[in-house]
Amino acid sequence: MKVISINAGSSSLKFQLFDMNDETVLASGLFERIGIEGSCYTIKYNDKKVKEEVEMKDHSDAVKILLDKLISLNIISSFEEIEAVGHRVVHGRDKYTESVLITDEVIEDIDTFKEFAPIHNPANLLGIKAFKEILPEVPMVAVFDTAFHQTIEEENFLYPVPYKWYTDYQVRKYGFHGTSHKFIAKTIEEKLGRKDLRIINCHLGQGASLAAIKDGKCVDTSMGFTPLTGVVMGTRSGDVDASIIPFIMEKEGKNVHEVIDDLNKKSGFLGISQHSSDSRDIEEGIAAGNRNCALAEEKFIRSVVNYIAQYYVLLGGCDVLTFTAGIGENSINSRLKIVSELASLGMKIDVEANNVRGEFRKISADDSKTEIYIVPTNEELMIARDTKTIVENNR
């Protein structure tokens, strides 16, 4: 069975085509600047790469070009080979607790929920509508970033604010990166051959979140109503006191949206370091003696450690600690510093084993009370797996 996994942005469309018989990637690529001058696409297949500038007015144009290219490059021989399309959708609110077959009702809901993800849900819909127009007979599945977190219980997802905000406006913690957290939990379950695990997963990329997972179900996560909260990120602040907002509005003569924008785009690593949002640049800055880079990293490590400690207690211990995403998979230094601060919980890293980037590996010392792993994430594959299962179950 061949499945395409789609991640549509407002002017982009990322795809991976899988042969789900053995989960191999037949092709992958990115369509950029859709609807903007200079639109182009890149397709990678069989160790080859095609890049071309071509006019794309909208996402439908991008999908048409993608499908034609898959045929002209001999990646597939006809459209019929594509048996299903899986779409990443950011927000499914509290209605979607798992991935679903896309129906008119699902499309309407994704549209309705745009007030919770005003940039992402409309963009995700552009991808869905383009495929619906061009491959109307092919079943499609929506895979929500929020779905995995729907097992979180009320005492963990509620904010201590007027209850009416929850009942009337659905203000609560939703959590994000759910597809990645689920993929990591499943991978660990498979590798260790057991499901009764207490896992703390650290998805540390430009955006970062942690999830506390027990018996395969999410118990709590660090992002909230939006992806702004939780740990210190590349440009997002993570948790801050909301009273800072009116204070800065007054000091800098800004409106509320401008201050929220500062918290989303000018904070985190970038805000403290005044140097960069990328942890590689921060590490270089530290090596060059930049104090603010050191502070930014210290603040990041502290925030991750605090969440791990909190989740350790919440789960009543931790069998497996996992690191994933750009920083989690690649930053030897961040993993080392985080685990070093967890010695009082009996966690110990194997410094030699940790000396690796981007591959699945156990990195805990033999006498560590918690097993620690690097697990490369693969959200596209998780989308394709869910899509395959749901389409097969609905035949």
Q: How far is the CB of 72 from ligand ADP (least distance, A)?
A: 30
Indicate which residue of 22, 47, 104, 145 is catalytic: 145
Q: Are β-strands 140-144 and 100-101 bridged in parallel, bridged antiparallel, or unpaired?
A: antiparallel
Kind and range of the H or E run holding 340? helix 332-340
CA 197 to mean position of chain CA atoms: 22
User: Cβ distance 154 to 163 under 8 Å?
Assistant: no
Q: How far is the CB of 144 from ligand ADP (least distance, A)?
A: 17
Minimum CB–partner distance for residue 366 and ligand ADP (Å): 26
Q: Measured at CB, which residue is nearest to ligand ADP?
A: 326
Helix (H, G, I), strand (E, B) or coil at 317: coil
What is the sign, positive or negative, of the torsion defined by CA atoms of 38, 44, 47, 48? Answer: negative
Task: Give the residue with the Cβ less far from ligand ADP, 322 or 331.
Answer: 331
Nearer to ligand ADP, 279 or 303 (CB): 279
Residue 224 tokens, joined: 């909230």
**Residue 20 and residue 145 in contact, taking contact as beta carbons nearer than 8 Å:** no
Separation of alpha carbons 14 and 28, rounded Å: 8
User: What minimum distance in Å lies between the beta carbon of 152 and ligand ADP?
Assistant: 21
**CB–CB of 83/140 below 8 Å?**
no
Instruction: Decide: 64 and 72 in contact? Cβ < 8 Å.
Output: no
Give me the least distance between CB of 207 and ligand ADP, in Å please: 4
> Which string of DSSP letters, residue by residue, matches 125-170?
HHHHHHHHHHSTTS-EEEEETTGGGGG--HHHH--SS-HHHHHHH-
Compare residues 81 and 278 and give the one whose CB is closer to ligand ADP: 278
Question: Does the annotation count 61 as an active-site position?
Answer: no
Binding site residues, ligand ADP, CB under 6 A? 205-207, 234, 278-280, 325-327, 330-331, 357
Residue 269 is given by DSSP the state: H
Q: Tell me which amino acid residue 8 is.
A: A
Looking at the Cβ atoms of 8 and 171, the one nearer to ligand ADP is 8
2 or 227: CB nearest ligand ADP? 227
Which amino acids are annotated catalytic? 145
